[in-house]
Structure 1
Amino acid sequence: MTSIDRGDFSEIPILDVSSLYGDDEAAIRATAATLRSYLETIGFLYVVGHPIPRADVEAVRDASKRFFALPDEEKLKLKIDKNFRGFLPFAGSTIVTSSVATVSKPNQSESIFFMHEVDENDPRAVAGEPLQGPNQWPDEAQLAGFRATIEHYVEEMSTLARKMVRAIALSLGLPSDNLDRYFEDPTTFLRLLHYPTQPQEEGLFGSAPHTDYGFITLLAQDDVGGLEVKNKAGEWVPAPPIPDSFVMNVGDILARWSNDVFVSTPHRVINRTGRERYSQPFFFDPAMHEMIEALDVCVPAGTEPKYPPVQYGDYLMERIDKNYHYRKKQAAEAAAAKA
């Protein structure tokens, strides 16, 4: 690949990953090689050929619609907590850490976060470690089957994500299980998002231009559209919905881990369709305690890594604390209490 190749795209490619669920080693390696070419040059692709039923994706979307249809006072009973689990009200985040745009207006969306489940009696939760605690769930009497639907989907998506982790390792010439240890206790987020139709206003976005923080994102879209990816020429390339696909993209920690062999590409959401948009990104990241440093295979001989080692939890918390309004409020209240 040359520097001219990177970012030169006018559409998002499609990759059939069915081989990753089989035992044909040659087919798996061929899929991994194609994956590498997409992650090096674009950082985005559609994943098809997975075994996750459309009905399971749609069940989560239906659950999302039912939740966001609740009165605000009911949703606010699950208001996002210190462990980053729960309901984030409309316009609750502004991406001030964006490296691709100066963002001053909050995202035009509301959302609810479900992370890896941590029991309240788990030693990590008892010790108050960052992002370690139980999820907040709607009342079963209000939204029957909601929790079971979400947990089943997270399990399916985690399996797909682990297949992609192994394909990424193979794509770099590493043993397929080389990165597995970093994901023995992964940091996961399922974010259910609701984007109302937004007004025509300069600098206003459903989701402002940004890159994702973590390892990989696997996004299920509805049929409304609005996701766009920025190419080298500065053009915003649509990533329209494709049935039975997930949009996968490189996050910043994977780009850093690969010493920028893989590219974390800016993207945004604008919803001016006149319809409400629902999406369900699943973020699959290393364990919070893992140290991330450039893989040797990605550092050319005679050179130094571009980035120093970083503990993933520290890296993640810095970005969360800056971008989410409630975190800033909590920090200010804590500082005032100490004064």
Structure 2
Amino acid sequence: MKLYGLILTIVSFSMVSNLVWNYAIHMKELLQMIHKMVLEILGLEDHYNSHMESIDYSMRFTKYYNDLSETGTKVVMPSHKDPNYLSIIGQHNIGGLEIETSNGEWISTTPIKNSFTVLLGEAFMAWTNKRFQAPCHRVKIDGSEERYSIVFSTIPSFTNDVINPPKELVDEEHPLLFKSFKYYDYVNFRFSDEGEKHKDTLQFYCGA
């Protein structure tokens, strides 16, 4: 009986592993497509291959929950910007992700079947010389809910993590807004005690 239970566990783990692997493959393809769209919009199609060769991918599973003894909605993930290039967020049945607009209004992203939310991070904002903005976002749920999501992201590779906009994006009309910086050095600073003190950490860290 114990052996039978072990076999079932191994089979179940294998099925889950295959499911996660297939999900990651599709998300990777989707993010590559989005990166290509961004570069095409900027007229940087010639940079696509070198750009994609400089990135890695990450995936994490998240669970947010509130104190069940509390009532009403509560912010369980404070307002922040992602430091990476791009993220695809797949929400389960429970929403809660809110995006801050340019005028300071918070809008909710309602989970829709077979749809995802794409967020641009600070690294891509700096790489595009702020042609694209990294939005502030947060997670807000009520006291009776648990929220699950999958976040699949593109990040600079460890061996090629210098963030510097292409020369085509810097001119008299669009002066350089961020000095060249190493992504992982910035991430270490951003989540340090000193980095947490600043509302706009990237601007403080490498603003031109």
Structure-2-length-normalised TM-score: 0.77
Q: 1:192–1:281: 8 Å Cα contact kept in structure 2? A: yes
Q: 2:71–2:143: 8 Å Cα contact kept in structure 1? A: no
- The partner residue of 1:228 within 71, 91, 98 is 98
Give the structure 1 partner of residue 61 of structure 2: 192
Distance 1:306 1:173 in 2: 19
Distance 1:294 1:211 in 2: 19
Q: Secondary structure of 2:130's partner? A: coil
Task: Look up the equivalent residue of 1:314 and give its one-letter code.
Answer: D
**Matching of residues 97-136 of structure 1 within 5 Å:** none
Structure 1 gap ranges (5+): 1-138, 324-339
Q: Secondary structure of 2:23's partner? A: helix
Q: 1:287–1:312: 8 Å Cα contact kept in structure 2? A: no
Task: Spell out, residue by residue over 1:77-98, the C-alpha distance to the aligned partner (whole angstroms, 9 max, x if none).
Answer: xxxxxxxxxxxxxxxxxxxxxx
Q: How has the CA–CA distance of structure 1 residues 201 and 187 changed in structure 2, closer, same or farther, with 3 Å as cutoff? A: farther
Distance 1:266 1:321 in 2: 19
Distance 2:100 2:15 in 1: 38
Q: 1:224–1:273: 8 Å Cα contact kept in structure 2? A: no
Q: How has the CA–CA distance of structure 1 residues 157 and 322 changed in structure 2, closer, same or farther, with 3 Å as cutoff? A: farther
Q: 1:217–1:251: 8 Å Cα contact kept in structure 2? A: yes
Q: Does 1:262 align with 2:116?
A: no
Distance 2:193 2:90 in 1: 26
Give the structure 1 partner of residue 44 of structure 2: 174
Residue 301 of structure 1: how far off its partner (Å): 2.5
Q: How has the CA–CA distance of structure 1 residues 306 and 189 changed in structure 2, closer, same or farther, with 3 Å as cutoff? A: same
Aligned alpha-carbon RMSD (Å): 2.6
- The partner residue of 1:242 within 112, 120, 125 is 112
Q: Which structure has more strand as a fraction of its residues?
A: 2
What is the percent sequence identity of the aligned residues? 23
- The partner residue of 2:179 within 300, 308, 316 is 308
Task: Spell out, residue by residue over 1:47-89, the C-alpha distance to the aligned partner (whole angstroms, 9 max, x if none).
Answer: xxxxxxxxxxxxxxxxxxxxxxxxxxxxxxxxxxxxxxxxxxx
Task: Look up the equivalent residue of 2:106 and give its one-letter code.
Answer: W
Distance 2:119 2:105 in 1: 18
Task: Spell out, residue by residue over 1:13-37, the C-alpha distance to the aligned partner (whole angstroms, 9 max, x if none).
Answer: xxxxxxxxxxxxxxxxxxxxxxxxx
Q: How has the CA–CA distance of structure 1 residues 304 and 239 changed in structure 2, closer, same or farther, with 3 Å as cutoff? A: same
Residue 231 of structure 1: how far off its partner (Å): 1.5
Q: Does 1:295 align with 2:140?
A: no
Distance 2:43 2:80 in 1: 30
Number of residue-to-residue matches in the alignment: 183
Residue 249 of structure 1: how far off its partner (Å): 1.2
Q: 1:228–1:237: 8 Å Cα contact kept in structure 2? A: yes
Q: Secondary structure of 1:313's partner? A: helix
Q: 2:71–2:144: 8 Å Cα contact kept in structure 1? A: no
Task: Look up the equivalent residue of 1:190 and give its one-letter code.
Answer: M
- The partner residue of 2:31 within 143, 158, 161 is 161
Give the structure 2 partner of residue 219 of structure 1: 89
Task: Spell out, residue by residue over 1:196-229, the C-alpha distance to the aligned partner (whole angstroms, 9 max, x if none).
Answer: 2443599x63211001111001111112111111
Residue 149 of structure 1: how far off its partner (Å): 2.0
Q: Secondary structure of 1:206's partner? A: strand
Q: Secondary structure of 2:50's partner? A: helix
Task: Spell out, residue by residue over 1:96-147, the C-alpha distance to the aligned partner (whole angstroms, 9 max, x if none).
Answer: xxxxxxxxxxxxxxxxxxxxxxxxxxxxxxxxxxxxxxxxxxx847744232
Q: Secondary structure of 2:131's partner? A: coil
Distance 1:322 1:154 in 2: 33
